[in-house]
Structure 1
Amino acid sequence: MDGIHLVNSQKRLPSPNPIHPLRFVPIRLTRLRQHTSKKEEEESSRRLPTQDRYKAAQAIAPAAAEIIGRRRREKNPTDAGSNQSHQHQHHHHRHRRNPNLDRGPPKDPSMPLKKPSPLKKPNPNQNHKWADIWFKDKARKHVVFKMQLDPLSVSPDDQTLTLEKKAADDFRAVDPTSLLSDSLLLRIFSLLPSSQHLPNSLVCKRWLALHGRLRRSLKLLDWHFLDSGSLTSRFPDLTEIDLVAASVHSQSPRSSSGIFLTLPYLSIPIHSDDSAARFVPDELFLPPDYIDIGLRTLSRGCPNLRKLALIAGTEAGLASIAAECPTLQELELHRCTNDVLSAIASFENLQILRVIAFVEGLYDDSSISDVGLTILAHGCRRLVKLELSGCEGSYDGISAIGACCPMLEELTLCDHRMDGGWLAALSFCGNLKTLRLEGCKRVDADPGQVEHLGLCPALETLQLRRCQLRDKESLSALFIVCATVREIIFQNCWGLDNDMFSIASICRRVKFLSMEGCSLLTTAGLETVLLSWMELERLRVVSCNNIQDNEVSAALSSLFSVLKEFKWQPDSRSVLASSLAGTGMRTKGGRFFKS
């Protein structure tokens, strides 16, 4: 409806004779003229009660609507019929007027319509004009004014304003991010914290797809997600993926014990009926052919892979990865055999390799010997880091690695099953900087003569973690080979007493020593070695229960005062107290933590 819409609100004036409420009255404000003086208007408004003014407004409304309708039909005779029918239907549905209230002009279409003649002097007993009734009253809370443009009488300026307003509304309706390309949005998302990536993916489908392209690393738990192609379509730009957990069935009919074997890379249920022989039966591992199909799908969908971890891959599967993923730099092979290592030569840019062959109770049917180590050495000449876990071998295999991999800087041996004499082969590793032994039951069963051991000239760090150091001859051979080390780290090593630790005085260039969980070592044994190291700068002693504060001598105390880095928590009680600092637990349970 054109003009002004006056919509009656829910709050209405009380009336003894209820009249149908006024819904809307079309009227032109510019056509109304005030023909009475201000004094007469004030007198009429004071004399006429509010209830009577409301009735008068209802009486005038039909006449005003009829006048506007006639003028519109005169300007545009073609639309007169449609406008009249539309107006009639609209009035009929919105409210039914009382015929007694219609007091409009005669309905003769031949009568010319001119400017409305001035109204007579208002009479209290007669109806008042529209301006006196509505616009002089201050209490207009029972109506709502809604302005709309008249399409038949709008000026060009009004049309321009209308178009500008419509354009502004359309601009606000458009998503501003739709003006940005995918590459720009990806660059913006990459600057956000990783914790915001998942909430952003829930905004819309486009952002969900971009989140998939933003993802770089993934740990797969369901192999079907890879085999069906959903993984590569959802995350096409992956650079790191771990397939180890997905290669093992987490559920089987016999997994009823509720006990899980948890490793750093895997968590699987232990079966109560055959746990004495083996924790994980062969039926829980996916067949090698099935894994090869998934590897081919992965190689085609994610050609930018840089890191891959998998179980029981075959030569065909690794060959497909090597052909489609030339940028692969890090590879982790579980349940590996000598035959699988023959396919590693296809990876031209491989720099980091982890080979897990034998794990007691988990991978009992796989083994790597000197043959596999020699194949590895000739195929991976650009290796920088190498980790061998559960591998067999001897002097020949280690010497081949040292001779064929001149860039090797870090070597890790976990639970090795090497034959005697492998320590002497470390002298072939001319650029080796870090040697790490983890979970080894012995260092070297037969190291041989001291003059044949050799030396690692570039070695800087020696780490021994969870190793059994009960053979004094093998430990002495290890320190002779690693005589140039600058850092020595012992962590939870069994059998490291004063006599075994005194052998470490062979290494004269040590600058950092870390002792953790070495319960057999005493303060006297520690002092003997520390005073022989003239270049010592940093010391860390944690959870070594036989080292007591009251046994520290003056010479050892003066050494502590010149160290650049010093951490002294020898007993477990002090470690626990420091971990509870700031929690308030030590104050409430002080009787359990008395020092």
Structure 2
Amino acid sequence: MSVLEEKRSPDSNIPVKKRAPSWSDIWVKKNTKSLKHVVFAMQLPTLSPNDPKSQTPLPKFSKIDRTLLLSDDLLLKILAKHPVSQRNPNSLVCKRWLNLQGRLVRSLKVLDWEFLESGRLFLRFPNLTHVDLVNGCLFSPRNSGILVSHLMGSMHVGSRFSPYWRLCQENLLPVDMVDRGLRVLAGGCPNLRKLVVIGASEMGLLSVAEECPTLQDLELHKCDDNVLRGIAACENLQILKLVGSVEGLYSSLVSDIGLTILAQGCKRLVKLELSGCEGSFDGIKAIGQCCQMLEELTLSDHRMDDGWLAALSYCENLKTFRFLSCKKIDASPGPDEYLGSCRTLGRLHLQKCQLRNKRSVRALFRVCAVAKEIVIRDCWGLDNGMFIAASICRRVKFLSLEGCSLLTTEGLEAVILSWQGLDSLRVVSCKNIKDGEISPALSTLFSTLKELKWRPDSKSLLASSLTGTGMGKRGGKFFKRT
């Protein structure tokens, strides 16, 4: 076909050849209105401030939201690039942006329980995967000026206190109301991955287990043995924190019965934290035998019976063992031949614990003899006689001591000189460890370390004297970048 067409002039019979219309001509004809908007916007800046025409009001189409030309998916991608601190201002632009910002929210702390039960939570935030209900489960008396704060949350309390000082227990929502909220949450958040709740029952957790198969992380406050029956239905649970009792806030009981139910139901656990829980050898043994994927175990303010420490040897894949705020380790661990050892353990952490029983500390280091990392922070009672028990851990490569005020330079030296593989040492706020008591053998060890942080007290001069010497930087000259 020819790209030219023949047309005769009205004044002449001479044929005139005209070019066929291009695709751009066709687009301009169909989009004349949009093009006028663009042309008008391009001409606006040419008007000077003194021009009287510039004082005329703009046409209505100049107030059109240009973001309406963008699809929701495209605008969501743009908003997702903004920092988290910008989300609240963005949500104030218009209703559309408010809804889009709600779709970007994945984690939320619920403060108003009615907001959950009414279903408005899911209309406002339809893609939630992490929900914390603890603050929403607490109701505060009106006109109360007394605020109680805890790691769990904050709440207002009345002027009349309980004789047992269980403040949180008196300000909890009824169990049936908490369960009803969990059923609503389970129906509105089928992709829920993490849940934090307090005061729930077995039935409430069962509804979450049935409707939220992707639940992997669960934190339960005020938990007891009966509630653990509902947890056992969460087959894909990998991270679990159980809080039985908190002194001054609430009281609940988790015993060997609950730990056994938990072990038989949640066999895919990787991380487990037991806070304020009771139990004994049987409960820990059941967890070790059934939860064979368990890699991290944390005990916080535990109330375990004597002899439980020997059950740790059943945790065959345990890599990290933590003690937090424990008043004791194991008052009667039993004979050494029954203790066993965690063969895969790599890290042993103790923080804010009371290490006053030499026998229990010795048993702990014996069970964790293959640990490669030992961290002791703000623990009371750790003196030279206690710390010498750590000599059995001959594979240690990293040692961190902080707030160990009873330990001396002599006690530290007696242990770390026996560790042939020590690479990193950190000593902070240990006032009885002095620079002037460092022996030549200890100085030689310092020079071979890859990493050294030495601040036993505010008067220590060793750290400043090491600057520029290369001490504590073994291998640095071989790995410098060129």
Structure 1 pair 169–496 and aligned structure 2 pair: CA distance change class (3 A): same
Secondary structure, in 3 states, of the residue corresponding to 2:326?
coil
Report matched runs for 1:320-335 at 5 Å.
320-335=207-222
Any idea what the Cα deviations from partners look like across 1:441-474, whole Å, max 9, x if unmatched? 1100210110011110000000111111011111
How far apart are residue 219 of structure 1 and its match?
Answer: 1.1
Are residue 283 (structure 1) and residue 173 (structure 2) matched? no
Tell me if structure 2 keeps the 8 A contact 1:440–1:468.
Answer: yes
Match of 2:337 in 1: 451
Are residue 546 (structure 1) and residue 436 (structure 2) matched? no
Secondary structure, in 3 states, of the residue corresponding to 2:78?
helix
How far apart are residue 164 of structure 1 and its match?
Answer: 5.4
Match of 1:491 in 2: 377
Any idea what the Cα deviations from partners look like across 1:214-260, whole Å, max 9, x if unmatched? 0011111221221222211111101111111111123357x55x352
Identity of aligned residues (%): 60
Match of 2:244 in 1: 357
How far apart are residue 176 of structure 1 and its match?
Answer: 3.6
Tell me if structure 2 keeps the 8 A contact 1:233–1:301.
Answer: no
Are residue 311 (structure 1) and residue 198 (structure 2) matched? yes
Structure 1 pair 556–179 and aligned structure 2 pair: CA distance change class (3 A): same
Distance in 2 separating the partners of 1:510 and 1:391? 30
Give the counterpart of 1:374 among 260, 265, 268.
260
Give the counterpart of 1:186 among 76, 85, 89.
76
Distance in 1 separating the partners of 2:428 and 2:228? 41
Secondary structure, in 3 states, of the residue corresponding to 1:524?
helix
Give the counterpart of 2:109 among 211, 216, 219.
219
Secondary structure, in 3 states, of the residue corresponding to 2:264?
helix
Match of 2:88 in 1: 198
Tell me if structure 2 keeps the 8 A contact 1:307–1:329.
Answer: yes
Residue identity in the other structure for 1:198? N
Secondary structure, in 3 states, of the residue corresponding to 2:436?
helix
Distance in 1 separating the partners of 2:434 and 2:97? 60
Tell me if structure 1 keeps the 8 A contact 2:106–2:129.
Answer: yes
Distance in 2 separating the partners of 1:467 and 1:485? 19
Give the counterpart of 1:439 among 318, 325, 329.
325
Greater Rg over alpha carbons, structure:
1
Any idea what the Cα deviations from partners look like across 1:508-537, whole Å, max 9, x if unmatched? 000001111111111111111111111111
Are residue 467 (structure 1) and residue 467 (structure 2) matched? no
Distance in 2 separating the partners of 1:289 and 1:493? 41
Secondary structure, in 3 states, of the residue corresponding to 2:426?
strand
Tell me if structure 1 keeps the 8 A contact 2:166–2:250.
Answer: no
How many positions carry a matched residue from both structures?
Answer: 414
Are residue 230 (structure 1) and residue 116 (structure 2) matched? no
Tell me if structure 2 keeps the 8 A contact 1:485–1:510.
Answer: yes
Any idea what the Cα deviations from partners look like across 1:124-167, whole Å, max 9, x if unmatched? xxxxxxxxxxxxxxxxxxxxxxxxxxxxxxxxxxxx99995456
Tell me if structure 2 keeps the 8 A contact 1:523–1:552.
Answer: yes
Tell me if structure 1 keeps the 8 A contact 2:138–2:168.
Answer: no
Distance in 1 separating the partners of 2:260 and 2:365? 26
Distance in 2 separating the partners of 1:165 and 1:479? 81
Deviates more, 1:339-348 or 1:206-215: 339-348
Tell me if structure 2 keeps the 8 A contact 1:271–1:279.
Answer: no
How far apart are residue 172 of structure 1 and its match?
Answer: 6.3
Structure 1 pair 425–166 and aligned structure 2 pair: CA distance change class (3 A): closer
Match of 1:240 in 2: 130
Distance in 2 separating the partners of 1:279 and 1:251? 15
Secondary structure, in 3 states, of the residue corresponding to 1:343?
helix
Tell me if structure 2 keeps the 8 A contact 1:437–1:467.
Answer: yes
Structure 2 gap segments, 5+ residues each: 1-30, 42-60, 465-482
Tell me if structure 2 keeps the 8 A contact 1:496–1:518.
Answer: yes
Tell me if structure 2 keeps the 8 A contact 1:522–1:547.
Answer: yes
Are residue 418 (structure 1) and residue 304 (structure 2) matched? yes
Secondary structure, in 3 states, of the residue corresponding to 1:458?
coil
Distance in 2 separating the partners of 1:275 and 1:522? 45
Any idea what the Cα deviations from partners look like across 1:485-544, whole Å, max 9, x if unmatched? 000010110000011011101100000011111111111111111111111111111111
Distance in 2 separating the partners of 1:179 and 1:321? 40
Deviates more, 1:331-340 or 1:173-182: 173-182
Distance in 2 separating the partners of 1:191 and 1:164? 30
Distance in 1 separating the partners of 2:257 and 2:222? 16
Any idea what the Cα deviations from partners look like across 1:368-416, whole Å, max 9, x if unmatched? 1100000000010000000001111100000000000000000001111
Secondary structure, in 3 states, of the residue corresponding to 1:541?
strand
Distance in 2 separating the partners of 1:180 and 1:313? 44
Match of 1:302 in 2: 189
Tell me if structure 1 keeps the 8 A contact 2:179–2:200.
Answer: yes
Any idea what the Cα deviations from partners look like across 1:189-220, whole Å, max 9, x if unmatched? 22222122222212211111000000011111
Report the TM-score when normalising by structure 2: 0.82
CA RMSD, aligned part only? 2.3
Structure 1 pair 169–456 and aligned structure 2 pair: CA distance change class (3 A): same
Are residue 557 (structure 1) and residue 443 (structure 2) matched? yes
Structure 1 gap segments, 5+ residues each: 1-159, 579-595
How far apart are residue 274 of structure 1 and its match?
Answer: 2.8
Report the TM-score when normalising by structure 1: 0.66
Secondary structure, in 3 states, of the residue corresponding to 1:354?
strand
Tell me if structure 1 keeps the 8 A contact 2:141–2:158.
Answer: no
